[in-house]
Amino acid sequence: MKDILTAPFMVDMIRTVTNMYNHGWDERNGGNVSLLLEEKDVAEYLDVKQVLRTLETGFSAPELEGKYFLVTGTGKYFKNVQYAPDVNLGIVRLRDGGRQADLLWGYTDGGRFTSEFPAHMMSHVARMKVNPQNRVIMHCHPANLLAMTYVHSLDEKEFTRTLWQMCTECIVVFADGVNVLPWMLCGTNEIGEATAEKMRTARLVVWAQHGIYGAGADLDETFGLIETAEKGAEIYMKIAHLPLVNTITDEQLHQLEKRFNVKAREGYLK
C-alpha cells in the first residue's frame, strides 16, 4: 500500500485547512471540512475491508450508503492538522443507511468526526442532487461575513446584492447568490436540515452570527468561493458607515454576466 499521507486528497486537505487557519477563519477548534472520496482512490492507500471501529452518526442518509469521506475531527484545532493528520482527520465509510460510519483511518486518539457531521452529510446529499460534481462541504467563521450579519438585513436577495456590488468578482464566482439562515443552535440535525434545504439553491449558506457553509467540486474551488464572499463582506464593513458615492450597477452586473458567461440568480437583478 502507498503511504496515505502522500495521497493527493490528503495533501490537499492538510494544505487547505492550514490555509483556513492562517486566514483567521478557524479559531481554536472552529470549523470543519468534509471531502467525498472515490473508493478506488482510497483503496490505493488503505485496506477498505479493515474497519478500526464503527461510529454512530445520529442521522439517516440512504443516498450516502457506502460513500467514503475524509473529515476533520471534533474538537480539533486546524493549526495542528499539518503536524498530526492521523489524530485530527479521519476517513469513514457510511453504512446502515448512513446511521453508522466505519472508521478506516485516523482519529487515532479515540476521537470522532466533527459534531457538524450531520449538517455536512445532509448538505452533501442536497448538492449531489443539484450537481454531482460537488464533493466538498466547508464550514468556517470568516470575521467580516459574521460582522455583516449583525448590521445588514438577512434577506437573501439584499445580502447577495450587497456582496455582488462590493467586488467585481463576486457575481462571477457566486452567481447563484448567498442563502442565509437566522441564528440556530449548531451541532443539531435541525440546523443540518435547514442548511441542506438552503444548499438546494446556492453553494453558500451563511449562518447568522456564526459562520458560513460552502460547497464545491474540490477544496480549492470551495475555499475560493468563501474567500471571495469574505472579501466582499470585508469591503462592505469598511464602507457601510460612509456615504455611498459609487457602486456597481445592475447594468454593469449584467455586463459581467455576459462577459463571463454566468447567470445571476433569477429575480436578483433589475
Cell numbers standing for residue 126 = 442536497
- Res 192: pLDDT: 92
CA–CA gap between residue 268 and residue 114 (Å, rounded): 35
CA–CA gap between residue 15 and residue 121 (Å, rounded): 22
**What is the bridge-based pairing of β-strands 100-106 and 53-56?**
antiparallel
CA–CA gap between residue 171 and residue 157 (Å, rounded): 13
CA–CA gap between residue 266 and residue 7 (Å, rounded): 40
CA–CA gap between residue 57 and residue 67 (Å, rounded): 14
Are 1-114 and 116-265 in the same CATH fold? yes
- Res 187: pLDDT: 85
Residue in the block written with cell 453553494: 203
Tell me the β-bridge partners of 212: 140, 206
What residues are labeled active site?
116
Q: Which is the CATH superfamily of the domain at 116-265?
A: Class II aldolase/adducin N-terminal domain (3.40.225.10)
- How would you classify residue 117: left for phi > 0, otherwise alpha for psi between -120 and 50, otherwise beta? alpha
- Look up residue 60 and give its amino acid: S
Q: What are the residue boundaries of the structural domains of the chain, listed by start?
A: 1-114, 116-265
The alpha carbon of 92 is separated from its chain's Cα centroid by a whole number of angstroms, namely 18
Domain 1-114 has CATH 3.40.225.10: yes
CA–CA gap between residue 44 and residue 221 (Å, rounded): 25
**What is the bridge-based pairing of β-strands 136-140 and 178-181?**
unpaired
- Res 237: pLDDT: 98
Cell numbers standing for residue 125 = 446529499
Q: Is the dihedral of CA 45, 51, 52, 55 positive or negative?
A: positive
pLDDT tens for residues 203-244? Answer: 999 999 999 999 999 999 999 999 999 999 999 999 999 999
- Res 248: pLDDT: 97
**Low-confidence residues of the chain, pLDDT below 50?**
none
